[in-house]
Structure 1
């Protein structure tokens, strides 16, 4: 069986539904539990959109846009420490329009999801510091 790429599926159907692989979008999306629906990108993306993009190495990534620039975007996974720069419109395949958790579908642009995105990003400096401290403590603890 020949598998098609995300690009081919989006060109063919306009949307794709897929399950999370990885923890970079926790707590919004749970690995291999939640589904997300991506719609082919139409025009520029907006701040706080969760978008599917393809890195130069061929890896597909689903992360949140935290800054819209004239020539691209800055991305950050909800559960990540490091921002990703240099992603252009040509790299972005589509935007998450909804996700399914425990059989119920939630619109990605609904008020509650947008509020979550804003608050979660506002807390980024605190979350980053907390994660870095936890990593440092674990590193020190491992050398005893």
Structure 2
């Protein structure tokens, strides 16, 4: 039985993500809305992402994952993979990089949607554009400084 409701409820982040992890641990996919702007310009606040449980084969550069960090839950892009460590960065972040153990990554974005339709987050073009954007961080910092 499927239950659908238009009623909006608000939960504390820790409760929401604990419940989300239950579904992921059962192998189910979960759709959530992006909150915040750390993944601009590739994902924006309000876009929807379909999360699926993470598998080792999913751990590839450029993939967007959900992780549980000391600072909270984040949806960021994999920018470096080492033996037992993964580095994540939000596309809009100019400096911050999260260094995590692989087991702190819970899920991967399988699909994403905005108001116009599907966002192809795994295409060669999108991932390469995201890395060009990432490597341009020093220039983006300088431009931000000049704007201020």
Q: 1:124 aligns with which of 105, 126, 137?
A: 137
Preserved CA contact (<8 Å) 2:50 2:109: yes
Preserved CA contact (<8 Å) 1:81 1:128: yes
Q: Deviations over 1:40-91 (max 9, x none)?
A: 100151111111000125x210011111111211111011122324311110
- Give the number of equivalent residue pairs: 133
Evaluate the alpha carbon distance shift between residue 129 and residue 11 of structure 1 in structure 2; reply closer, same or farther with a 3 A threshold. same
Corresponding residue of 2:117:
104
Q: Deviations over 1:17-42 (max 9, x none)?
A: 1111101011111112x101111100
**SS in structure 2 at match of 1:5:** helix
Q: Deviations over 1:120-143 (max 9, x none)?
A: 223222112223444xx3xxxxxx
Q: 1:8 aligns with which of 18, 22, 45?
A: 22
TM-score by length of 1: 0.80
Gaps of 5+ in 1: 138-144
Following superposition, the deviation at residue 15 of structure 1 comes to: 1.5
RMSD: 2.2
Following superposition, the deviation at residue 111 of structure 1 comes to: 2.7
Corresponding residue of 2:54:
41
